[in-house]
Chain A
Amino acid sequence: MTEETLVKTLLSSRSRLQSRALIIVRDTHLAEDIFQEVMVRALQQRDCFESAQSLMAWTHTAIRNLSIDYVRRLGRLNGILSNVAVEAVEYRMDRLAQESGPREEAMKACLERLPDESKNLLHLRYDKGKKGHELACMLQRNENAVYKTLSRLHLALKRCIEDRLNHSGVSR
């Protein structure tokens, strides 16, 4: 496989591959680090990949292993989902992969429509890595209220994305 094809293949699935790492590591910055590391390793052994399928199969295993390795090093291995649950989430993720292009566009549009306050909360959570109790402290609210707000925002975003996809003719 040429370097160009390999890079294109992996970059076109970047969000999905980072999401895969996120199932286990739950830190968006770490997920990106893992994606980059896997990409470097894939480039080092690009001659082993005969097709995009074999590259993706290898990438999925590598992401899973590296994610577990990171979590293990952080001493958080006991805090992750069971193997069966992780596999079930990955399976559904792959089924949704075909429509990832329009979905990402819809996601951007929906994020833009969010009020600043909501957007700030999501940035603090997923970009700055602030946890529920830290956000509760910052916002002078209790932790349960923070998680309620976060879950409502996620649900609202999901509905907004689905509306846009339905409107543009892409099914759920």
Chain B
Amino acid sequence: MSEQAVEAELWELLCRYMADECSEQELETLSRRLAVDPVACDAFNAILSQAVAIRDDAEMQRAMAVESSKPFLSHLVRFPFTSGAVSLAMVALFAIAMGWYFSIKSHSFVSLQIVEVHGPSRWSQMDGKKSDSLQIGQRVPFGKLETLSDQSTLTATFAGRSTVSLFPNGAAFFGQSDGKKSESVNFTTSPSSHGFSLSAENSHAIELAFGGLAVDAKFESGSEGLVVKTPAAWLQASRARFEIEADGSDTRVNVFDGQVRLQRRNDGMEILLNGDEQTMASLNNQSRFRVVSTRLPTKAWRCDLSKVLHGSFGVVQKADEARPLRLKAQPYVVPENNTLTFRTSVPIPWKGFETVEATPGMRVRLSGYLKEATDIEVHISGRVQNAGIGCGYFIRFTPVVDPVSGRWENEFLLSGCKRVFSKRLTKEESELPIRINHTNIYTIKIDAGLEVDGLEYIPPPGSSLSLAALLQR
């Protein structure tokens, strides 16, 4: 291959990487090349700086377009009222405009009222204004809601008595739908979080971009109720309590009570889910829906690092003769307190219907490697099932590190951890099961070369494994 052809291939590959349309093999090739070839790095830097400049240029053109519409308006405003008739006409026009404005306002709902905030979160309005300090009791117009950390949760009421809770690291748009199906929720969203608009008349609508959401929909039976759009599915419910988890290709829905209609977006296949049922809609799957009972939690769980890498945090260290596959801690600034940590994070993969419930007497077993002995802190994040309440378990320990191999192992009781909830629980809520989502293992301020190769949730001796756990073995 000529030098020119090689160069052309590299530039094409870089363009594909920029669009996230590289195969795994291409990504590996590109990584290897960039790591050793300054010319390739310079080519990539050229594309990066051009991309930023192109976006700035587009922004500038938009600004100029707005500016160019100003002279007409400003001329109109400056024009002196030469006669009483013109003044009267202007007053009438103003009155009509105000009437129209308020009629639109009264129809176009949507305000959410914040009832719980825990951890950093953000509200972005249609015009791009952002608010990072949401207060309990605050009313917010429609727009985008984000929870910005592993511990953030946010609960809001809407349409009277309905509530919605956004789980950690999630993003959702709130608005109204026009009541039709398919592309009915007339969300016009830009490709990023930067700008968006919503329009609609009838039902309330939520677009969950990613993350988890708990909904308690309390609409009149038979009404359009609530429509939730995710990348993989449409959901509709008027009276139901349910949870949704979504990423770019899959959506898992757990219905606790009531009925939820689900339509898969890639082929339009529909299913009606009842209480205690869960299913998954996937853009990569066109087979019939698999419906699983929500009453069969997985009480024991052992992490298989090769299967949970999706959604994990840390750099994968391939297995070698001395050590198995493991996750290496990476720097991470905790948004709540700006503390620098070196962290790995292992999710309980929701795509396999795995639901690990925290039970009394449950133990957690951890293992890995450390380059220097230091304290390790563990934060287990979960949520009170179907109550939209975040829960965190914290524990810090000093591991015994093998001086030669650097290996450490530790086991602790979940009940021995400090437990924090995003709100004070009522008696009823305190009896609900707690579902574990993520396990974060980290050192604070010190990069001690932490690596994790094992994580296990072990039920107390004598407790039988659930059917779901047995089936998964």
- State the A residues within 8 Å of B (CB): 15-16, 18-19, 22-23, 26-33, 40-41, 44-45, 61-62, 64-65, 68-69, 72-79, 81-85, 88-89, 91-93, 96, 103-104, 107-108, 111, 119, 122-123, 125-133, 143, 147-148, 150-152, 154-155, 157-158, 161
Contact = CB atoms under 8 A, between A and B. Distances in A.
A18 B45 contact: no
Nearest to A33: B193
Contacts of A130: 191
B45 A132 contact: no
B18 interface: yes
Given A28-B55, A96-B42, A107 B15 contact: no
Nearest to B22: A79
Contacts of A148: 8, 12
A68 B311 CA distance: 11
B31 interface: yes
B21 to A, nearest CB: 5
A123 B34 contact: no
Interface string B32-46: 101110100111111
Interface of A is mostly: helix
A78 B52 contact: no
B38 A92 contact: yes
A122 B470 CA distance: 53
B46 A129 contact: no
A129 B331 CA distance: 29
Interface of B: 7-8, 11-12, 14-22, 24, 27, 30-32, 34-36, 38, 41-59, 132, 169-171, 190-194, 210-211, 247-248, 309-313, 315, 330-333, 338
A74 B146 CA distance: 13
B45 A81 contact: no
B313 A72 contact: yes
A93 B194 CA distance: 26
Contacts of B310: 75, 77-78
B52 A22 contact: yes
Given A85-B34, A131-B20, A27 B192 contact: yes
A52 B53 CA distance: 24
Given A84-B31, A89-B45, A92-B42, A15 B53 contact: yes
A81 B333 contact: no
Contact of A26 (B20, B210, B332): B20
Contact of B11 (A19, A22, A111, A155): A155
A151 B8 contact: yes
A55 B76 CA distance: 48
A79 B20 CA distance: 7
Given A29-B191, A30-B193, A33-B192, A111 B30 contact: no
Given A29-B193, A81-B31, A151-B8, A15 B20 contact: no
Given A29-B55, A61-B331, A81 B30 contact: yes
